Structure 1
């Protein structure tokens, strides 16, 4: 679906994603990370308290509750989430994938896709949480405080190379270059090994994530592509982060 946020055809949609490079991990290790993440999500908001595994292939099989997280169930889910051709051998180097959905209505539907343990140089491991775009729950979830909490949860559970909460519309405008270059979103997590976050202009806020890295929150109000001040601020911040060696400058 093409988003025309500037014309109001569709509401601007948002998601939170964590991304990291090759890291070989067992189904048990992936399950432990997923368990920690789902437990932290449940503390963020009631809409994120209940999850059911999406069958593979999608739409087939019985409903499998994942909350409260049960390590044997999650481990088996990741073990069965290996990529393979029908009837063929598993491609373990591509990672183990588990997808889940909440118990909300269609308007309040939330999904999470977790791919962990991949060690192919050409592929990334990823955790992506999609969020509702309208309604009472969306108004509650799409706040700086809530997305900061969710991004923090991803950073702690998955230890990614970077993480971001942003709109799909702004993702197309960010100027990111290459799969190893972070997107800059409404909320961005950068681990300490990337470097030190420099002072940034108001109203940007920087929060530590224990001793692991920093969260950069661009605006206290909802960041949207329809606000030219938000776009100008994001471009200025990206330029400052690029100067500090934390990401690349926007493509010209």
Structure 2
């Protein structure tokens, strides 16, 4: 398939190319340990999901987990970057491009020691093989880079149609290891550190709640007492100004807290 100069793919490759500070042909063998990456990078899922590995230097998808078929209806060998971008809803393509541009600009300014300390996420609608649109939460974490270039990113796509049926796509930059976060960023605005509504421990509990874990499981996972979990849950609902986990999940997605 020919890559049209007017396609989203062409525009996106120009944006992603900003992450290549020096010409590089990256040929290191791809070794996948996705479960390890998932644990280390604190990636969130609130529904059906699949993984991808994106090679920044070649502007292509190197790996797509077979779970994509459960969500989009395609086998992994039917997908490449050009085809995938072409399936994005026409009204959401400008958001996608602008968010990716903001992401790339942010990455360029990061010192080497902080390049693995951020997760980037935004959402958009995409067409399935049956010509229906679903909404994906698109989460990206750089996994291979050096002082000159970004080489690979781990991408997680989660179906959040059941959570966010309508609304404008939003973009957030979430810091790990006490790095600042930037929630629900407007494309045109200068990045300003967002006020952290939740404490570090509350964020850990929040993630577990949104993944559907019960209080006993959360207590065991975080090595805290059941009573402490109950207190955290109460404080989280109060701070979020919601009354139940379902509303908490919906607001967390819309506000980009996760």
Superposed pair shares fold, TM > 0.5: no
TM-score in terms of structure 2 length: 0.27
Tell me the TM-score normalised to structure 1 length: 0.27
Structure with more of its chain in helix, by fraction: 2
Q: Taking CA–CA contacts closer than 8 Å with sequence separation of 6 or more, which of the two structures ends up with the larger relative contact order? A: 1
